[in-house]
Structure 1
């Protein structure tokens, strides 16, 4: 039966899943925005773009998953097709679709329609529904799992430090200042994966195939083993296992000036792994940070223990596949 199910699903995926698509009816600027966003995601979603009501007749209702509509487009001239649309397709506006299907809160779309106070209130109210119980249970889980994990992998931790020592000498562990909950500063500890004077010219983004990364460091980053010492910050209560990744204050000052609502990621504790890390590729630019913020805001709005477990298992999958972080 398992073999039959596997073969059946393989056939279904090959001939049917890839044929289904969403339809987006919006203006050209929004089309470019959506195309650019989807091209950067790990998950591939098929979308057909239309620009007028005449093109609705070309949609195959058997393969169309739904219609995404823009608030910036006048739809008065599609009244004839309206009953057909409501009969066959799920219709969502762009913001609803991004949050429901991509699991991202499109903060950059909200810029003209909502201010920071209103968005903050929205996130805080949603969060407060489960706040007391959720935070307490999450804290217990953070401490218990961090201690268990650190004790379990301590022999590996010793071996890794020895390999770094052979590769580039002392120190094998370094600390950095990061920005935490409500903008407070704290130290995180990481196994050193770069040469000793990697930042002699100041803080900078890490890039793909960065020449400053040690030979052993490349593999530690892929498996995220360089982040083992951060369990100390979790036990101290400065971080959580799951949450937005904390950024360095030097880089964050620049991001706050260029990205709307960036401060909102500090409504909760930062995490070793998070929704942005498992959903989006490694980012080393302001544009990437803006997209990652959308994932962080989605997590803040919808955070729950169930979502934490999903992110945790995706993180484990990422470690096993050696598709880990290249973060600075």
Structure 2
């Protein structure tokens, strides 16, 4: 069972009941104190009882409140509850309360203040009680975050001692792995699990919550190799401050009860932006599919006339988390163009039809991929998906490529905009650099910029 599940259930039940109680209390104070009327459970009261808690639960979800519940410590809990109470109260005020008839403008301010105070109080209090129970449970022996230290030198010993000497320690150390045969200074303090190269085999059957990278300066060249092996999107990764400058991932400082470590984040996009990005993907793709029906019909006829064969070209591509999916494209090449095996297209490629050449320059051949977005295979903006045949070649040269499969691939990408179609593996590696840059700086605003650049390429027919 997922360790978060029972605590998540408690938070969900608590938040729903708190939202319900806060609305009832607010309605009571609003009627009796501000409107100076007798409390009456009219239709507005019951509508609020039914809808307001659902509204708050939606806000909490978009905020990312329920991600990593077991790591929801008091200060973070206070910040999340306060900020969302302000936002939610303002939304309710301007959408529901502002049209109330009040005796003076002060009534509006009192409405907003009471709504915020009541909701924040009724929500944060039970959350704090549950959180206190949660922290107390985690601090019990063997209940903490299962942690593996990577490295067995004096640095690793110092980190272990600094964490263990604090009574508020929340780590349960499973053991350590070393980077070479001499890293055995943690023997007698932690269980030796084996060499780092065997970590995948070692971790089978062990649910590891956290890795702490404690390698010497002489081994900094191995950091990317370490990150690629342990960054599964589930376990937290922490490292020492002196390795900060050479890590490609974004980091943030975190104080683990006295031990200063850096949190390595492979994905810096906030959860609410991920939710918004998916909403934009689905809504824009749905609209695009409807508006492009005439274009789809025209393109289908053009492709059919250009050469014998099917209208659409379906091909296996590697998507998020390495999952295989069928990508949809209008066919731009003659049938059996890869009879001799996988081959990238090139400028003036004789395999490309005349209509196909135009469609590639304008990116129109990619338009059927809006269906891939609706099916959940792709996003509008993201690293372009590749075939396994080429991924295997790229990953041997640049293991960082595997980072790109941690997000949904896109119809367009920063690499596609800046570089265009790649004609060989070397060019694919060059394009990959732009996609890695995108991955480390993902945001809604960057997505919108890429969409705008893509639109200009389509209009100007400047595609490579």
What is the TM-score normalised by the length of structure 2? 0.44
- Alpha-carbon distance change, 260 to 191 in structure 1, aligned in 2, over 3 angstroms: same
Does residue 310 in structure 1 map to residue 310 in structure 2? no
The alpha-carbon deviation at position 317 of structure 1 amounts to 0.8
Cα distance between partner residues in 1 of 2:435 and 2:402: 11
Q: Is the 8 Å Cα contact of residues 268 and 441 (structure 2) preserved in structure 1?
A: no
CA-based RMSD of the aligned residues comes to 1.9
Q: Is the 8 Å Cα contact of residues 390 and 425 (structure 2) preserved in structure 1?
A: no
Q: Which residue of 2 aligns with 1:240?
A: 379
Q: Is the 8 Å Cα contact of residues 384 and 413 (structure 2) preserved in structure 1?
A: yes
Cα distance between partner residues in 1 of 2:313 and 2:462: 23
Q: Which residue of 2 aligns with 1:115?
A: 224
Does residue 280 in structure 1 map to residue 389 in structure 2? no
- Alpha-carbon distance change, 117 to 268 in structure 1, aligned in 2, over 3 angstroms: farther
Cα distance between partner residues in 1 of 2:268 and 2:363: 33
The alpha-carbon deviation at position 123 of structure 1 amounts to 4.9
Aligned residue pair count:
215
Correspondence 1:1-328 to 2 at 5 A: 112=221, 114-118=223-227, 122-123=249-250, 125-126=264-265, 128-325=267-464
Superposed CA deviations along residues 18-72 of structure 1, whole A, max 9, x for unmatched, are xxxxxxxxxxxxxxxxxxxxxxxxxxxxxxxxxxxxxxxxxxxxxxxxxxxxxxx
Q: Which runs of 5+ in 1 are unaligned?
A: 1-110
- Alpha-carbon distance change, 115 to 302 in structure 1, aligned in 2, over 3 angstroms: same
Q: Which runs of 5+ in 2 are unaligned?
A: 1-219, 232-236, 238-248, 252-263
Cα distance between partner residues in 1 of 2:420 and 2:329: 21
**Secondary structure in 2 matching 1:189:** strand
Cα distance between partner residues in 1 of 2:357 and 2:250: 37
Structure number with bigger Rg: 2
The alpha-carbon deviation at position 260 of structure 1 amounts to 3.2
Cα distance between partner residues in 1 of 2:250 and 2:342: 31
**Secondary structure in 1 matching 2:339:** coil
Cα distance between partner residues in 1 of 2:330 and 2:318: 19
- Alpha-carbon distance change, 127 to 118 in structure 1, aligned in 2, over 3 angstroms: closer
Q: Is the 8 Å Cα contact of residues 309 and 334 (structure 2) preserved in structure 1?
A: no
The alpha-carbon deviation at position 126 of structure 1 amounts to 4.3
What is the TM-score normalised by the length of structure 1? 0.62
The alpha-carbon deviation at position 118 of structure 1 amounts to 3.8
Q: Is the 8 Å Cα contact of residues 267 and 439 (structure 2) preserved in structure 1?
A: no
Cα distance between partner residues in 1 of 2:275 and 2:452: 21
Cα distance between partner residues in 1 of 2:334 and 2:453: 30
Superposed CA deviations along residues 147-196 of structure 1, whole A, max 9, x for unmatched, are 11111111011011101111113311121000011111111111100001
**Secondary structure in 1 matching 2:461:** coil
**Secondary structure in 2 matching 1:198:** coil
Q: Is the 8 Å Cα contact of residues 303 and 331 (structure 2) preserved in structure 1?
A: yes
**Secondary structure in 1 matching 2:356:** helix
